[in-house]
């Protein structure tokens, strides 16, 4: 028997069959394991024990023993069953591989169990002061940890570290974290753990991420996890890729040895925002809004900050030159800018009404320079302000029905020079309209989205009440923002019911998840009703790159290709096997 405890440090578990109780051993906490010698076991359940071995709590579910029981890691009081998460449609040609054999996408049907045993002095300092001394200065000190991650079939352990991430998310008591490993976890050296602290459905960020990927925009995706750090039970979190060299290599290039290029995180320093205008070659003119993030060390001088900025400044200069070019030929812009993927990003920003993302706020995104192709594009991230009612000061009352200019109502406050210039070009605007029309017809509609969100809700439903309860019991010193959502609000806000602001809830949800999908989808379908979508050719970057589709292990250990709408990108190994198989057939016959 193997079972994960969700009761935190100090908990003890056993297995009960009939009237017999057998204590289990914490082999890799929070995983408990043990063997039972019995003539026959039909039904069993897991129990919580006190130090004397007495039962103090039993699961509310009954389990049936089978030969598979010993092969899987179950979770206390959680039903063991398979979940099928449907693929969303992909309306457009793919330009990126989104993974490879060495960097497979996380399985959406899995909830991981993550436990970090960290340096208590550093950790206690972090959870006491995420902001140093009550200022806006962020406490980013890493705490060294021993990390254990338990999935249904495997246990991963590694030394590593954690540190707090985000600025807005840092204001919540349920903090968000970056986790780094000395060993590789599924090909990764780091992951993000986001607290989902302001969404009663726990699904909005997940859905937004899936939408970007479905239209072919590179994005850090993932699944869910139960998070435990030292003696603190944090609850249900999003477990995501972090923006790093390995993610760039796997998702953008499909080659772990590919040159990284350069990425620059875009920051807003309220009330000032990045505008993408070329104003000179001095990097100090841009470093307030653009921070070098990932790059190959051999391409820069570590002692000279200025050596990190030439690719960024080159983008602004080349774009400025194109703006002033007679006729603004699209083919000239496409030589250095992936116009197509930027338009697709803008469409999803529009449909999800991203209030803290690239199109509206010019933030929560990175400029990426692909040095291998001499091409630039935008990579979005952090979607906690998507698929919500329009409470942002930059939105006008008619934002829900405005599918074209909703982000451009306050140009005196935010200069959208870059995206407005793109949409002012007739040929580019025509392609944008096709992307918007086709996305609302084939992807962003209630029938398609509800099948996806219902499946995700089924995956996490048994954890929802526990997740809300853990917040009440989280005893860290930091008194950040807390939203005391209820299970009923989780279920209701998935549909059309609203969650009002109150003494218990700071982050209201005054529109249901499927309600906003219906409203926004209907409005943007109506706005693009006359758009001719018969020509769906990319406006730039027309080479089709098959999306990687991983293989899975069958019950007997052999590899099976997964079925689905996304093409599998063959490896050299699989090609060689195919050739040998064909030769064998000819020899046989």
Question: Strand, helix or coil at 15?
Answer: strand
Name the residue among 208, 209, 194 with its Cα closest to residue 251.
209
Predicted pLDDT at 552: 66
| CA–CA separation, 78 and 265 (whole Å) | 39
Residue 579 has pLDDT above 60, yes or no: no
**Per-residue pLDDT tens over the stretch 57-91:** 999 999 999 999 999 999 999 999 999 999 999 99
| CA–CA separation, 544 and 232 (whole Å) | 47
Residue 471, CA distances (Å) to 474, 507, 538, 568 in order = 5, 15, 46, 41
Are 150 and 31 contacting, i.e. CB atoms less than 8 angstroms apart? yes
End-to-end alpha carbon distance in the chain? 49
| CA–CA separation, 382 and 384 (whole Å) | 6
Q: Which residues of 249-278 are buried (b: 16+ CB within 10 A; e: fewer)?
A: bbbbbbeeebbbbbbbbbbbeeeebbebeb
Residue 561 has pLDDT above 60, yes or no: no
| CA–CA separation, 416 and 397 (whole Å) | 20
Residue 553 has pLDDT above 90, yes or no: no
Please compute the mean of the pLDDT values over residues 125-149 and round it to a whole number: 96
Q: Indicate the DSSP class of residue 317.
A: H
Predicted pLDDT at 134: 84
Higher pLDDT, 577 or 31: 31
Q: Among 318-327, 357-366, 393-402, 559-568, which stretch is predicted with the lowest mean pLDDT?
A: 559-568
| Percent over 90 (pLDDT), the chain | 90
**Per-residue pLDDT tens over the stretch 430-444:** 999 999 999 999 999
Predicted pLDDT at 334: 99
Name the residue among 471, 491, 468, 489 with its Cα closest to residue 480.
471
Residue 227 has pLDDT above 70, yes or no: yes
Name the residue among 106, 135, 101, 142 with its Cα closest to residue 121.
142
Question: Strand, helix or coil at 579?
Answer: helix
Residue 576 has pLDDT above 50, yes or no: no
**Cβ neighbour number for residue 11 with a 10 Å cutoff:** 18
Are 506 and 483 contacting, i.e. CB atoms less than 8 angstroms apart? yes
Predicted pLDDT at 571: 37
H-helix or E-strand spanning residue 266: strand 262-266
Name the residue among 356, 350, 359, 419 with its Cα closest to residue 383.
356
Average predicted confidence (pLDDT) for the chain: 93
DSSP 461-526: HHHHHHHHHHHHH---S---B-----HHHHHHHHTT--B---SS-SS-B-S-HHHHHHHHHHHHHH
**Per-residue pLDDT tens over the stretch 368-394:** 999 999 999 999 999 999 999 988 899
Are 114 and 193 contacting, i.e. CB atoms less than 8 angstroms apart? yes
Residue 588 has pLDDT above 80, yes or no: no
**Per-residue pLDDT tens over the stretch 16-45:** 999 999 999 998 999 999 999 998 999 999
H-helix or E-strand spanning residue 185: strand 177-185
Predicted pLDDT at 271: 87
Predicted pLDDT at 569: 34
Residue 424: pLDDT band by 50, 70, 90 thresholds?
very high
Predicted pLDDT at 392: 85
Predicted pLDDT at 574: 40
**Cβ neighbour number for residue 512 with a 10 Å cutoff:** 22
Question: Strand, helix or coil at 241?
Answer: strand
């Amino acid at each position: 028997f193997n079972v994960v405890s969700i009761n935190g440090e100090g908990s003890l578990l056993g297995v009960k069959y009939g009237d017999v109780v057998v204590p289990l051993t914490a082999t890799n906490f929070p995983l408990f394991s043990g063997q039972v010698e019995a003539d026959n076991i039909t039904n069993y359940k897991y129990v919580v024990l006190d130090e004397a071995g007495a039962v103090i709590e039993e699961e509310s579910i009954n389990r049936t023993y089978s030969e598979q029981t010993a092969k899987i890691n179950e979770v206390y009081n959680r039903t063991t069953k398979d979940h099928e998460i449907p693929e969303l449609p992909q309306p457009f040609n793919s330009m990126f591989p989104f993974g490879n054999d060495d960097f497979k996408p996380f399985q959406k049907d899995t909830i991981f169990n993550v436990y970090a045993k960290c340096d208590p002095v550093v950790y206690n300092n972090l959870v006491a002061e995420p902001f140093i001394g009550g200022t806006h200065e962020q406490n980013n000190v890493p705490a060294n940890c021993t990390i254990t991650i338990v999935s249904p079939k495997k246990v991963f352990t590694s030394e590593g570290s954690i540190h707090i991430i985000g600025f807005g998310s840092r204001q919540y008591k349920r903090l968000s974290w970056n986790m780094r490993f000395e060993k590789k976890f599924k090909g990764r050296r780091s992951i993000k753990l986001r607290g989902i602290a302001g969404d009663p459905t726990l699904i909005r960020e997940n859905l937004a991420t899936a939408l970007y990927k479905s239209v072919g925009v590179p994005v850090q995706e993932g699944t869910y996890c139960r998070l435990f750090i030292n003696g603190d039970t944090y609850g249900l979190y999003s477990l995501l890729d972090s923006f790093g060299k390995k993610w760039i290599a796997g998702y953008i290039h499909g080659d772990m040895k590919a040159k990284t290029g350069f990425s620059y995180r875009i920051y807003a320093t309220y009330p000032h925002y990045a505008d993408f205008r070329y104003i000179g070659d001095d990097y100090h003119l841009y470093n307030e809004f653009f921070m070098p993030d990932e790059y190959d060390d051999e391409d820069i001088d570590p002692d000279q900050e200025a050596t990190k900025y030439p690719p960024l400044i080159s983008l602004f200069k080349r774009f400025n030159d194109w703006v002033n070019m007679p006729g603004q030929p699209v083919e000239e812009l496409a030589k250095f800018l992936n116009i197509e993927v930027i338009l697709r990003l803008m469409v999803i920003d529009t449909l999800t009404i991203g209030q803290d993302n690239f199109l509206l706020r010019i933030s929560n995104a990175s400029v990426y320079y692909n040095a291998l192709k001499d091409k630039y594009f935008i990579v979005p991230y952090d979607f906690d302000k998507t698929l919500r009612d329009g409470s942002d000061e930059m939105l006008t009352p008619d934002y829900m029905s405005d599918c074209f200019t909703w982000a451009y109502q306050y140009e005196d406050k935010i200069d959208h020079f870059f995206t407005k210039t793109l949409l002012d070009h007739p040929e580019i605007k025509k392609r944008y309209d096709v992307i918007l029309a086709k996305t609302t017809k084939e992807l962003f509609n209630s029938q398609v989205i509800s099948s996806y969100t219902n499946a995700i809700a089924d995956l996490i439903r048994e954890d929802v009440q526990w997740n809300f309860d853990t917040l009440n019991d989280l005893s860290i010193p930091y008194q950040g923002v807390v939203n005391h959502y209820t299970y009923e609000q989780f279920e209701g806000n998935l549909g059309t019911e609203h969650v009002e602001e109150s003494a218990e809830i700071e982050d209201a949800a005054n529109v249901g998840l499927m309600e906003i999908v219906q409203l926004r989808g209907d409005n943007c379908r109506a706005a693009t009703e006359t758009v001719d979508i018969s020509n769906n050719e990319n406006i730039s970057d027309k080479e089709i790159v098959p999306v990687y589709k991983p293989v899975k292990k069958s019950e007997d250990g052999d590899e099976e290709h997964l079925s689905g709408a996304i093409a599998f990108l063959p490896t050299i190994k699989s090609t060689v096997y195919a050739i040998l198989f064909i030769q064998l057939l000819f020899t046989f016959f």
